[in-house]
Amino acid sequence: MDFENTSNLSQPPGSGIPGIPPSPQPMPNAGGKNSKGSGWKIFWGIITAMSVMANGLFFLILIGMAFFIAAGSEKKVSEEVIKEGPRTAKIAIISISGIIDDRQAKDFHWQMKTAREDSAVKGLIVRVDSPGGTIAGSDEIYNEIKKYRSEKGKPVVAFMQGVAASGGYYSSVACEEIIAEPTTITGSIGVISAYLVVKQLLEDKLGIQPVIVKAGAKKDWPSSFEPPTEEQLQYLQTRLIDPAYKRFVEVVADGRKELTAEDVNRLADGSIYWAQAALKEKLIDEIGYQDDAIEKVKSLAGIEKAQVVEYHRTVSLYEILSAKTNASLKFDQKTLYELAMPQLLYLWTGPQ
């Protein structure tokens, strides 16, 4: 008797039985690996794109910085409207503030250039709040005002605030009229010079012995390495102080027609004057405020209405970067020379 072979009954259908295809076997979960791989590809693609964009932006910033630095040497002046009026009739306010030096004179030049090129400007107010400064800087500002009045034939009024003394007054007399606030200190017509004698400091404290080699007996007069003799002081008085003083007196006499030569010589002893005293001595024309100066310019220009603007120098990126670069204190041969060189100044050195 034949018995059936039941050994294959427990096997799933088609698992090796002839004529029946095998059942599909479960495959490893390859889909999970593909999903993870695609995620990493997307992530790194985003990172790469962001990096490219950042590099591109950085490159554009570098180009922009190079452009501004290249253009930074050109001074530019911005204009702020402080009193509304017709744009076809402007009064421009130009400021002299703080110590007058080479930079102050250059800033003033660029502001005057802006006014000169604007045909709508009918007159100027030179606002002065300065104790003075270098002779050269004061004279450059004075010349800019005189040149503008001569070329344009437009009124220029000085408006004094705070302290407008020495070089500040020197600059003001170039204007057609002078108005001062009641609390203004002005005058100080005179010249001063000072320098340091460092002989004892170098020799006794630091053990440094200066060596001077020269041709010409007066070549090193005055010297910071030797106390001045009476002959040297008289030499400085004759060659430096007196000519600078004479120039100041001549400028005041030319600018203040109300004063005689004797009046100017009497006033030119370095004295300072409160506004009321200055008015009495005819050093100024009027006591008032900025609105009074505006009305004075309109009257002199023959206009009833005007837009009043104030000029400001625009600081460039080049200057900002240069200031940071030069921020550290440097003491070199040039600095030593500048400290030793006598400074000839139209400057009031009293309390500010």
Sketch the domain layout of the chain as residue ranges.
74-191+261-333
Tens digit of pLDDT per residue, the chain (352 long)? 444 444 444 444 444 445 555 555 555 554 455 555 666 667 677 777 777 776 767 766 766 665 555 544 455 789 999 999 999 999 999 999 999 999 999 999 999 999 999 999 999 999 999 999 999 999 999 999 999 999 999 999 999 999 999 999 999 999 999 999 999 999 999 999 987 887 777 777 788 887 888 898 888 888 888 888 999 999 999 999 999 999 999 999 999 999 999 999 999 999 999 999 999 999 999 999 999 999 999 999 999 999 999 999 876 555 555 544 554 545 555 555 655 667 789 999 876 5
Give the helix, strand, coil percentages of the chain, each rounded to 5: 45, 20, 35
**Which uninterrupted H or E stretch holds 19?**
none
Q: Is 3.90.226.10 the CATH number for 74-191+261-333? A: yes
Interstrand relation of 192-194 and 343-347 (parallel, antiparallel or unpaired): antiparallel
Dihedral pair phi/psi, residue 299, rounded to 5°: -65, -45
Any idea how long the chain is? 352
Tell me, what's the pLDDT at 23?
52
According to DSSP, the residues that pair with 314 across neighbouring strands are 76
Active site residues: 166, 219
3-state secondary structure of 105: helix
Helices and strands (DSSP H and E) totals, the chain:
12, 12
pTM of the model: 0.75
Tell me, what's the pLDDT at 267?
97
Question: Alpha-carbon distance 82 to 93, whole Å?
Answer: 10
Asked whether the beta carbons of 123 and 156 are under 8 A apart, the reply is: yes
Structure-token match 């306010």, residue found: 93
Asked whether the beta carbons of 308 and 291 are under 8 A apart, the reply is: no
Dihedral pair phi/psi, residue 272, rounded to 5°: -100, 155
Tokens (6 digits) for 230: 């009476």
Tell me, what's the pLDDT at 247?
97
- H helices present in the chain, as ranges: 30-71, 102-117, 135-152, 167-172, 199-200, 230-236, 242-255, 261-267, 275-280, 290-301, 317-325, 333-340
Tell me, what's the pLDDT at 258?
93
Q: Measure the N-to-C terminal CA separation of the chain; round to a whole number of Å.
A: 136
CA distances, 205 to each of 198, 199, 200, 202, 209 (Å): 10, 10, 7, 6, 11
